[in-house]
Structure 1
């Protein structure tokens, strides 16, 4: 866990180094957006405090990359799946980085994607990270921001499982029992099919 000095650099100067940021320290949106890029950590705001996490590695990256590829092969041109695109949310956790989002293709030129542009947010649960954050906290935040669907893919399970969260008319998510094998569902009005077992393990050729 990162243990460094508190934030001290004034806003509006040069980009703030993450060496000046401390895990769990209160941070404003302006301070967060002034942080320098950190290639070794994923930075988010959670409940008004800086959250510092190790960047994904190994099977986590493979699963995200394969899912992006499978989705983009099936989505229409106006939609695109993208990895680690920072999301701008309302509420106490205004900066999140889902493992993957599906949004309008035009959003890829933005610094971050707005919640109202996101059709699907995906979180991948892997060893060493908080499963409660992925299964409970983040879906609650995404529902509060009107994101129509969230998928939670658990690569710790054998076989790998998918839980699908769908927004209802009351602004709450309903979620499925864990799905294994294959999943067919809609993103917006577009149907996609995912072979969940192909997201990890040896790479398979597709016909």
Structure 2
């Protein structure tokens, strides 16, 4: 019976990061959808940056930011008493950073697909912005939100470079599945590595299938 610890750690890290990414992605998309200032392209570039930069670069940046030698890392450590570097918290942060662009992109595209006339009609009927958001915008973009959640979960589960940089490989604490596969291969335990490879491939197939079904025109949500 193989040690299932890497699977449980990966699921814990990915589930927590996906919840955070879902909330942040919707909030960011809502703010950026309403904002039309000159800085919008630059702000969106920063949000999408983790897609372009190598994960190890993002991991290095996070390592510097959360270092106890830096003011922010020192504040987190001394005020909140949270250890980020070489902990599962660091793995969650790494997963959040690399996944947030996917969630944001799906949600903002969903928001932009809504006919503004529908929203303006609701406003003329006296509906508040909060009511419009929760009763019109969110229901109309639920497919986009779900797609973003699925893609963010998959990206977080497969995260390697940034996690290795900020969380390290600590058996029983930060050894997520991608890290476990890498170090199993390094130690010559390829048969055990294959087990986790098959698990991740199976999950990837499920994700792709779910997205394909979601994108069908006759999907039951439509």
Structure 1 length-normalised TM: 0.25
User: More strand per residue: 1 or 2?
Assistant: 1
> Which protein has greater RCO, CA pairs closer than 8 Å, 6+ apart?
2
Give the number of the structure whose residues are more often helix, by fraction.
Answer: 2
Larger Rg: 2
